[in-house]
């Protein structure tokens, strides 16, 4: 591929910071987003093209990264890009979606003379801001080699897991593991509150031993302060766990943790907490 001209679609909690890193390394040509206000704000702040839609952005780029909400958004945006893209354009999808969607999106881009990589990320909004995301890629190795300089702008680690969909399958495993960690932290910290333990002493003590985890370090104190306004919307996690559940059910393996977590997040969404961080699961653990 000649010189990379990158576009970014989806300027939310993750995407805004990731697109900012592409600008920092000099690769960002423009951005787009569903709500125009974010596109305009980003374009003004960073001095890049703020495209009206994915099709307009595609006319100016040869690699377009996505970090949108869910499967339907990935397919909608990919179709719009394919309708306007120059041959050779590669779409790199950082959203968490299903491997089925990745396979479908690759077909769409290949029919347009381009390619598609599934490349979900882990590391949270902190990882996006400090450019240290772990990226799990599925798809063609040559396509990854071509876009790698763009991904390096916000990656701490880039792993090629296999063919198309392998990145999303890895992310489903990642979310299954995290669901269990969050259940444990929610119950443990609710118990600590009930026992009157001091968070200022408790949390560093737990983090200094075998209970240490990213979630405990980054979300333990805020959860005990009842602050859930930053991070990863639990409605998005509910969507991720649906993907993991379907994979686990099809594979015939146990999915008890996924079932419990999905029903907890559904309950919180029904109570109007869907936009809160996933650590809000502690709300359900306090009431017993």
The answer to the question of residue 96 lying near ligand NAP (CB under 6 A) is: yes
Region 155-214 residues binding ligand NAP, contact defined as CB under 6 A: none
DSSP state of 252: T
Buried b (16+ CB within 10 A) or exposed e, 86-112: eeebbbbbbbbbbbebbbbbbebbeeb
Q: Tell the smallest beta-carbon distance from residue 275 to ligand NAP (Å).
A: 8
Which residues are designated catalytic?
171
Q: Please tell me the distance from the alpha carbon of residue 67 to that of residue 288, in angstroms, as a whole number.
A: 37
Is residue 6 classed as helix, strand or coil in its secondary structure? strand
Region 50-89 residues binding ligand NAP, contact defined as CB under 6 A: 67-69, 73, 76-77
Q: Please tell me the distance from the alpha carbon of residue 38 to that of residue 280, in angstroms, as a whole number.
A: 26
The answer to the question of residue 33 lying near ligand NAP (CB under 6 A) is: yes
Among 6, 14, 185, 281, binds ligand NAP (CB under 6 A): 14
The answer to the question of residue 280 lying near ligand NAP (CB under 6 A) is: no
From residue 159, alpha-carbon distances to 9, 136, 140, 152 in Å are: 22, 5, 13, 11
Among 21, 23, 38, 262, binds ligand NAP (CB under 6 A): 38
The answer to the question of residue 20 lying near ligand NAP (CB under 6 A) is: no
Q: Please tell me the distance from the alpha carbon of residue 38 to that of residue 56, in angstroms, as a whole number.
A: 16
The answer to the question of residue 135 lying near ligand NAP (CB under 6 A) is: no
DSSP state of 85: P
The footprint of ligand NAP (CB under 6 A) covers 9-15, 33-35, 38, 67-69, 73, 76-77, 95-96, 121-122, 124-125, 231-233, 236, 240
């Amino acid at each position: 591929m000649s010189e990379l001209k990158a576009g970014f679609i989806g300027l939310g909690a993750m995407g805004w910071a990731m697109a900012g890193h592409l600008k920092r390394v000099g690769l960002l040509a423009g951005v787009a987003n569903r709500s125009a206000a974010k596109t305009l704000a980003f374009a003004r702040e960073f001095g890049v093209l703020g495209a009206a839609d994915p099709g307009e952005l595609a006319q100016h780029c040869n690699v377009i990264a996505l970090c949108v909400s869910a499967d339907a958004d990935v397919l909608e945006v990919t179709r719009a890009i394919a309708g306007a893209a120059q041959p050779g354009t590669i779409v790199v999808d950082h959203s968490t979606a299903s491997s089925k969607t990745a396979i479908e999106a690759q077909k769409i881009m290949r029919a347009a003379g381009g390619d598609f990589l599934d490349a979900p990320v882990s590391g949270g909004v902190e990882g996006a801001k400090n450019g240290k995301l772990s990226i799990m890629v599925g798809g063609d190795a040559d396509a990854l080699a071509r876009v790698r300089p763009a991904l390096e702008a916000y990656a701490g680690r880039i792993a090629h897991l296999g063919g198309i969909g392998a990145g999303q399958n890895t992310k489903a495993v990642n979310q299954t593991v995290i669901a269990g960690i969050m259940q444990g932290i929610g119950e443990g910290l609710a118990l600590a509150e009930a026992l009157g333990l001091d968070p200022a002493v408790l949390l560093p003590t737990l983090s200094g031993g075998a209970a240490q985890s990213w979630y405990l370090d980054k979300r333990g104190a805020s959860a005990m302060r009842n602050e859930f306004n930053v991070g990863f919307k639990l409605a998005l996690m509910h969507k991720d766990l649906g993907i993991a559940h379907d994979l686990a059910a099809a594979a015939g393996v146990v999915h008890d943790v996924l079932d419990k977590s999905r029903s907890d997040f559904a309950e919180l969404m029904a109570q109007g907490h869907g936009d809160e961080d996933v650590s809000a699961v502690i709300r359900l653990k306090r009431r017993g």
